[in-house]
Amino acid sequence: MTDSPPTPPNSPPKSPPNSPPNTGKPPTPEGGHGIALAIIASCQLMVVLDITIVNIALPHIQSALGFSTQNLSWVVNAYTLTFGGLLLLGGRLGDILGRRRVFMFGIGLFAFASLLCGLAQDSWQLLAARALQGVGGAIASPTALSLITTTFREGPARNRAFGVFAAVSAGGSAIGLLLGGILVEWLDWRWIFFVNLPIGLLLIALTPRFIKESERHPGHFDIVGALTATLGMVGLVYGFIRASEEGWTDSLTLGSFGAAVVLLFLFIVIERRSRQPITPLWMFRDRNRAGVYGMMLSLSAALFGMFFFLTLFTQEVLDFSPLRTGLAFLPVSAVIAVGSGVASQLLPRWGPKPFMVTGAILATAGLAWLAQTDVHSTYAGSLLGPVLVFGLGMGFQFVSLTLMAVSGVEPKEAGAASGVLNAMQQVGGSLGLSILVTVFGTATRDEGKTQARDFMEHATPAQKMTFQKTHSLPKPWSDEVLTAGVSNAFIVAAILAGVSAVIALFVIQVRASDLERLQGGMPPPGG
């Protein structure tokens, strides 16, 4: 059993377990809990799906705003890096200023930034607005998760709420691909941003009516800690992306990694010395919570990689349209929702560990299966099966990880605990994708040399003349190159998911008190 952190001097007395905070406002009526959960889940869906909805529109954005191929990736990275880097500070804002107030501000900032993205007329304008979107998401997302802890009592009701939240968090990526395909084909790429404005305004209007304000805790904002963490992760991700393009010995690559190490070391030093850090390091002393954070880091890396490379494969090799690509991922969302629902219902009886272990193994198996992809693969015959296996495993995982991350945390630290969990998801996705892109780049360069020799032996004079101008291999040689990179990336993604299985088996230890909390205070079976 891990010791709890010492109570600071002059701290207010703890409230009885499960008692609502004394905010001077009437609690949310029982009939409004469903609407409150819909508001929270809608905010999380809007924030999460924005990570993938842009992928479908990237070719249109590139031609409209004049992005180079190298700089186009920053349309995604500008969002994910500020989102993941500032999540920790976003969680602390809700604890100190009041979660409902901060929740509404985060939604408003996200909606306003979305409007700026849609109106952008130059590349730098879009990148700046995307970074601002990430700031809004970093404020709204951890506050949304911590609002569940103040709106729903610990036990079955909170388990169901976390199940919905986890399903939305995990399935939002696939929904983003589908919605992106619809908006790009039927309207215009700018509508992938404009659509957030009416949704955000509606959520802001409904929130004061159905969600009560949380208790405010005195404290200060660890701005220096947030900046060192964010810049350190930016340097780390940039280092991997740079390595995929220029190699590991490039001076900027080495400089980025060096700066990242220094900044992240400073972040740890600052957090250890701060009286109120954005990341209370005592959270990592708890074996289960540290294991959950590690699992989220590795699983998110695999999840981001799966969506990115399958999107690339289906559009470039299988010649799917944006809308058809989005539809191809719809079964993933359904299976994730089913897995999350099953897990949330059975967790009180079985505990989270069986779902963590089973989910990690299924995710690993699905990715290993996808690693067998070749140029002759088809969607129904080669991709659908492993994607469904992977999705079921992720559905099991996200509910279990979410519950374990905030289990036993005092209400005043719930924002920080959920912020760390969300940060692990976004940072894991960004870092993991940059690592997988590096693997992809190395594999495609090697395969490209082989295919170039074969091309020169079998190509027609007209094809050779075009190649001399474009330096790009035509089909079917280009398909062989891309598929080799995708297959190698999936091998590494399977290894990353396998790490989470090892953690689930040998690190996670579910205690009787954990089961008791999941059952709403009743003694565990047989206890």
DSSP one-letter code for 352: S
pLDDT at 108 (0 to 100)? 92
pLDDT at 215 (0 to 100)? 60
Separation CA 432–CA 240 (nearest Å): 10
- Give just the sign of the alpha carbon dihedral 250, 251, 257, 258: positive
Calculate Rg over the CA atoms of the chain.
23
Nearest CA-CA partner of 92 in 237, 284, 220: 220
Separation CA 288–CA 507 (nearest Å): 7
pLDDT at 7 (0 to 100)? 42
Amino acid at 143: T
Burial, 248: exposed, middle or buried (Cβ in 10 Å; 0-12, 13-18, 19+)?
Answer: middle
The model's pTM is: 0.73
pLDDT at 164 (0 to 100)? 76
Tokens at residue 16, please? 């009885």
What's the Cα-to-Cα distance from 325 to each of 363, 386, 493, rounded to whole Å? Answer: 21, 16, 21
pLDDT at 195 (0 to 100)? 87
pLDDT at 110 (0 to 100)? 93
> Which ranges of the chain have pLDDT less than 50?
1-31, 521-527
pLDDT at 219 (0 to 100)? 59
- Coil/strand/helix, residue 241: helix
pLDDT at 58 (0 to 100)? 74
Separation CA 126–CA 71 (nearest Å): 12
Q: Return the ∠ at Cα 23 (arms to 21 and 27), rounded to 5°.
A: 75
pLDDT at 59 (0 to 100)? 73
